[in-house]
């Protein structure tokens, strides 16, 4: 299936959970928020959230500043 992660097209296997997709792309999952098709997915739901063909994933990294 084809999805987008932060506006970059990615090919991955069908039926993967959000956790599996992020791992397959070597995404560091500490201190990030993830939205799929403009809806935030709580980290507690990543393992059970199945990514569908055409999904658009946005990964937002927390940064500290002052």
Q: What percent of the chain has pLDDT over 70?
A: 98
Domain segments of the chain as ranges: 2-61
Local confidence band at 65 (pLDDT 50, 70, 90 cut-offs): confident
What band does 63 get if pLDDT is binned at 50, 70 and 90? confident
Digit-coded pLDDT (tens) for 46-56: 999 999 999 99
Closest CA to 18 of 29, 31, 6, 7: 29
pTM, 2 dp: 0.90
Q: What share of the chain has pLDDT > 90, as a percent?
A: 92
Contact 6, 60 (CB under 8 A): no
Quick one: fold of 2-61? Ubiquitin-like (UB roll) (3.10.20)
| Amino acid 12: pLDDT | 94
Strand partners, 11: 2
């Amino acid at each position: 299936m084809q999805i987008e992660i932060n506006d970059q097209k990615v090919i991955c296997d069908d039926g993967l959970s959000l956790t599996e997709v992020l791992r397959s792309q070597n995404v560091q999952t500490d201190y990030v928020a993830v939205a799929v098709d403009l809806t935030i997915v709580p980290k507690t739901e990543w393992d059970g959230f199945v990514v569908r063909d055409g999904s658009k994933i946005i990964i937002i990294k927390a940064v500290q500043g002052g």
